[in-house]
Amino acid sequence: MFCFRKHDLAKCKSKLEIVSMIMLLIGMLASATAWSDTYFDQSMVKLQGKNFKRVTEGIDLLAQSRDERSERLLKTLLAGDLYRLKKEKRLVTIIEEVGKGYLLADILDTSKTYTVSSKRKVKRVAINNTLRTKIKAAIAQIQLSDPDPAKRSAAVISLFDVVDDNQIALFETLYKQEKNEKVRSLIESGIAIGNLKTGSVVEKLAAIKTLEDSLEPTVRNALQTVVNDETEKRVIDSATKTLAKIDKRIDNYALMETLFFGLSLGSVLVLAAIGLAITFGVMGVINMAHGELIMLGAYTTYVIQLIMPNNIGASLFVAIPAAFLVSGLVGIAIERGVIRHLYGRPLETLLATFGLSLILQQAVRSVFSPLNRSVETPDWMSGALEINPVFSITYNRLYIIIFCLIVFAMLFFVLKKTTLGLKVRAVSQNRAMARAMGVRSEWVDALTFGLGSGVAGVAGVALSQLTNVGPNLGQAYIIDSFMVVVFGGVGNLWGTLVAGMSLGVANKVLEPMSGAVLAKILVLIFIILFIQKKPRGLFPQKGRGAEG
């Protein structure tokens, strides 16, 4: 390019400067890549060494290398799956045994395979506990530059146990660069842990002040070490006070976790009992087959998953209406075929429904076998929501609580805002007056029993996500369901909700102190004493016929 005039010359200089900068950047990138490749290549040679010193040098080089393969290589070494192919001088991993030898894959390119006739031709790259700690630190150091904040957080936490002067310097550098507040806070805690080990008295006191809001187990261990090993009284006193604050917060979160578990158990009890509350409240029928209607709902979920194996998440939404229909239709058949002939004879109704429960159990055994069946949990219900290091909420229990409230709201709407609900309330409060007003009580009974049975089936869908599905599934909840109904008030939905949640929380609060079995006994004793005082439960039914 030729420049003849002054302004052309200025343009040329500007373009030349830009080209020069681009060439400089390309050169720097090439240099960085070459540096990375050099470190990585050297590490591959060192890892083939026969002593721990050489392997240690190889790990250090991998930690400094920016090669994307370094993390995978370190994890393979940590798992004990890295081998030296002696003759070829290559690092490999074993795919499978072939006769007296192995089928091997190159650690860098798994498409390259080798077959050795003797196991003596390969040697595991040996590591000890010191090297394992070093490998974990190297992996964490690599992950500290990961774009995902969660991975960077995990990397920082994994270094808390091995913080030394080098790690403190690394943390201080990272702290200036880090933008994510959570990661910055963890890095600050890491610096404080390091100062607790090697800092002056003033630095230790400042570090303890920094760590007082942290709930990380490693932080607590570091403070406990200070209390046990420190000689300076001021530092010991400060660490003791901080530990007391942390322990108090941990106890508070433990109580919150217990309450959450109690609410999730209470939700299960409400789902199991709410259908029984309707049938028992309207018709006064003691339905001992209610547990088997729950079981049918659980088995319906299992069958739907067999039909939709590639859409487990969607199958759960299909299973809810399907379970309602299956259990509801079976409930209507029970009412029309057996129970309507036994109104006014509660003992005979109890015996008849108990017999039906045995028939349903045997029918399920004949169709599905007596073995328990496992229902797969969708991905979106797996895992937990971590609030902090000592408190997390499992998604399946959280969704059960939400599902229970949705079912309760829908049922409440049906009973309060629909014609069927009006007739159900009329029959439950005064059957004779309702019949005199033209309500066909026999069909109300059938539909009410079907509605209650359908809700039991929906409860089975929820239970299938918490436990294995088997012929005896319903038997585990029938007694608890009756306790919830009686405690809350026969036929009262709000009473069932409050009673179920209360009993669930009471069970979980008592379990750590008395054990699971004794906790149930204590709850049962409480209900017996409560019923002696208030025979009609927490929320007694209203109406002229309620007493009868």
Report the pLDDT value the prediction gives residue 245, as an integer from 0 to 100: 93
Find where tokens 């004879």 sit.
345
CB atoms within 10 A of CB 78: 18
Residue numbers in the chain where pLDDT is lower than 70: 1-37, 66, 281-283, 428-429, 491, 541-548
Cα maximum dimension of the chain: 115
Token reading at 32: 């960085």
Which residues fall within 8 angstroms of residue 511, CB to CB, at 6 or more apart? 519
User: Is 253-380+394-533 assigned to CATH 1.10.3470?
Assistant: yes
What amino acid occupies position 366?
A: S
Segment 94-149, tens digit of pLDDT: 888 888 888 888 887 777 887 887 878 888 888 888 888 788 777 877 777 778 88
Could you tell me how far CA 197 lies from the centroid of its own chain? 35
Report the pLDDT value the prediction gives residue 37, as an integer from 0 to 100: 57
Report the pLDDT value the prediction gives residue 542, as an integer from 0 to 100: 59
Q: What share of the chain is helix, strand, coil (3-state, %, to 5)?
A: 70, 5, 20
Report the pLDDT value the prediction gives residue 345, as an integer from 0 to 100: 81
- How far is residue 345's CA from residue 19's CA, in Å, rounded to a whole number? 99
Pairing outcome for strands 101-106 and 384-388: unpaired
Which residues fall within 8 angstroms of residue 364, CB to CB, at 6 or more apart? 295, 296, 299, 471
- Domain segments of the chain: what residues? 33-130, 145-230, 253-380+394-533
The answer to whether 48 touches 82, Cβ cutoff 8 Å, is: no
